Amino acid sequence: MSKFLCIFSAAISAILFLVFTLDLVAGIPFKKANALFDIIFIVSMLGVATLSVLSLLKQK
Protein backbone atom coordinates (compact mmCIF):
# COMPACT_ATOMS: atom_id res chain seq x y z
CA MET A 1 0.00 0.00 0.00
CA SER A 2 2.82 2.44 0.76
CA LYS A 3 4.39 1.93 -2.66
CA PHE A 4 1.04 2.70 -4.26
CA LEU A 5 0.76 5.93 -2.25
CA CYS A 6 4.27 6.99 -3.28
CA ILE A 7 3.57 6.35 -6.95
CA PHE A 8 0.15 8.00 -6.71
CA SER A 9 1.50 11.15 -5.06
CA ALA A 10 4.33 11.37 -7.60
CA ALA A 11 1.84 11.04 -10.45
CA ILE A 12 -0.52 13.66 -9.03
CA SER A 13 2.34 16.07 -8.42
CA ALA A 14 3.57 15.53 -12.00
CA ILE A 15 0.11 16.30 -13.37
CA LEU A 16 -0.19 19.45 -11.24
CA PHE A 17 3.35 20.47 -12.25
CA LEU A 18 2.31 20.26 -15.90
CA VAL A 19 -0.91 22.20 -15.28
CA PHE A 20 0.80 25.09 -13.49
CA THR A 21 3.72 25.16 -15.93
CA LEU A 22 1.28 25.32 -18.81
CA ASP A 23 -0.58 28.13 -17.08
CA LEU A 24 2.65 30.06 -16.50
CA VAL A 25 3.80 29.66 -20.09
CA ALA A 26 0.59 29.73 -22.13
CA GLY A 27 -2.15 30.71 -19.71
CA ILE A 28 -4.42 27.88 -20.80
CA PRO A 29 -6.21 26.57 -17.67
CA PHE A 30 -6.33 29.68 -15.49
CA LYS A 31 -5.54 32.49 -17.97
CA LYS A 32 -2.36 33.53 -16.12
CA ALA A 33 -4.28 34.61 -13.02
CA ASN A 34 -1.16 35.01 -10.86
CA ALA A 35 2.38 34.15 -11.93
CA LEU A 36 3.71 34.13 -8.36
CA PHE A 37 1.25 31.41 -7.34
CA ASP A 38 2.19 29.40 -10.43
CA ILE A 39 5.87 29.54 -9.49
CA ILE A 40 5.13 28.61 -5.86
CA PHE A 41 3.02 25.64 -6.93
CA ILE A 42 5.65 24.50 -9.45
CA VAL A 43 8.37 24.51 -6.81
CA SER A 44 6.16 22.75 -4.27
CA MET A 45 5.13 20.07 -6.76
CA LEU A 46 8.78 19.43 -7.56
CA GLY A 47 9.39 19.02 -3.83
CA VAL A 48 6.48 16.61 -3.38
CA ALA A 49 7.58 14.54 -6.39
CA THR A 50 11.15 14.42 -5.11
CA LEU A 51 10.05 13.28 -1.66
CA SER A 52 7.75 10.66 -3.17
CA VAL A 53 10.44 9.20 -5.39
CA LEU A 54 13.02 9.20 -2.60
CA SER A 55 10.67 7.43 -0.21
CA LEU A 56 9.78 4.92 -2.92
CA LEU A 57 13.46 4.18 -3.52
CA LYS A 58 14.05 3.81 0.22
CA GLN A 59 11.32 1.15 0.47
CA LYS A 60 13.03 -1.26 -1.94
Q: pLDDT tens for residues 14-27?
A: 999 999 999 999 98
- Residues 25-48 have a mean pLDDT of 93
**Could you count the other beta carbons within 10 Å of the beta carbon of residue 31?**
8
**Could you count the other beta carbons within 10 Å of the beta carbon of residue 25?**
10
Q: What is the pLDDT of residue 14?
A: 95
Q: What is the pTM of this model?
A: 0.86
3-state helix vs strand vs coil in the chain, percent to 5: 80, 0, 20
Q: What is the pLDDT of residue 50?
A: 95
Please report, as a single letter, which amino acid is at residue 17: F
Residue 60: pLDDT above 80?
no
DSSP string of 13-24, one letter each residue: HHHHHHHHHHHH
